Amino acid sequence: MTIDWIKNPTIPAIAQESDTGEILMLAYMNEEAYNLTLATGYAHYFSRSKQRIWKKGETSGHTQKIVDMLLDCDADTLILKIEQSGVACHTGRKSCFFTSVVRDEIIADKVVDTDAIYSVVDTLYHTILERKSDDSKKSWTKKLLNDKALMLSKIKEEADEVCVAIDRESDRQVIYESADLLYHTLVGLGYRDISPDRVKQELAKRFGHSGIEEKEGRSK
């Protein structure tokens, strides 16, 4: 039985601890990620938010060594039997499944402090995404996400304040205003479900290219 990648360009891949059977996470694979996983013996996935291949643990070092790969009867879902190094979840918990819907509570504690592993931008962006689904009435992030007009006005306001700070204020104020602008921009990215990793990819593509040529190319 083989996977029809034309019919199913990406398929769910469930990571399961080989010795305990515990479900650790669910991600997606395309054909390239699938072949890389087979070739290297370590789990690779296709990130739909980042729009790229990623090796599990590429940042954290928390890799997943493949023990076996099981394909379901419809050939459109995989179970990866793995040996997990460290933890599976970016929050620092062993498994990504730690919220009980029935009990409405978190049922697993953090095992690893991931704040020291991931960049502050990545950590902040994931926090913003978490705010999208909670019901907090005291969260400024939640308020921005629920009010598009307010969110856009704040991004414009913070951009103007950065310009003013660069023009005539102290270095400390420039840093302060830039942090405000970055935060509000990340809220905007979260509103659109666009990972900041895609912005990094765009910046990386521009290395070695003239900024003037790049702008001219956009106008054509």
Dist CA 217 CA 211 (whole Å) = 10
Per residue in 93-143, pLDDT (tens digit) is 999 999 999 998 899 999 888 777 788 999 899 999 989 888 777 899 999
Residues lower than pLDDT 70 in the chain: 209-220
Model pTM? 0.74
Q: Rounded to the nearest 5 degrees, what angle is found at the Cα of 141, between the Cα atoms of 139 and 144?
A: 115
Q: Give the model's pLDDT for residue 215.
A: 58
Q: Give the model's pLDDT for residue 48.
A: 92
CATH architecture for the domain at 119-212: Orthogonal Bundle (1.10)
Class of domain 11-106: alpha beta
Q: Give the model's pLDDT for residue 197.
A: 92
Q: Give the model's pLDDT for residue 104.
A: 86
Evaluate the CA torsion angle 210, 195, 12, 34 in order and state its sign.
positive
Long-range pairs for 153-160: beta carbons < 8 A, 24 or more residues apart: 154/184, 155/181, 155/184, 155/185, 155/188, 158/184
- Annotated domain spans of the chain: 11-106, 119-212
Q: Give the model's pLDDT for residue 14.
A: 98
Q: How far does Cα 113 stand from its chain's mean position? A: 17
Q: Give the model's pLDDT for residue 119.
A: 86
- Which three-class secondary structure state does DSSP give residue 92? coil
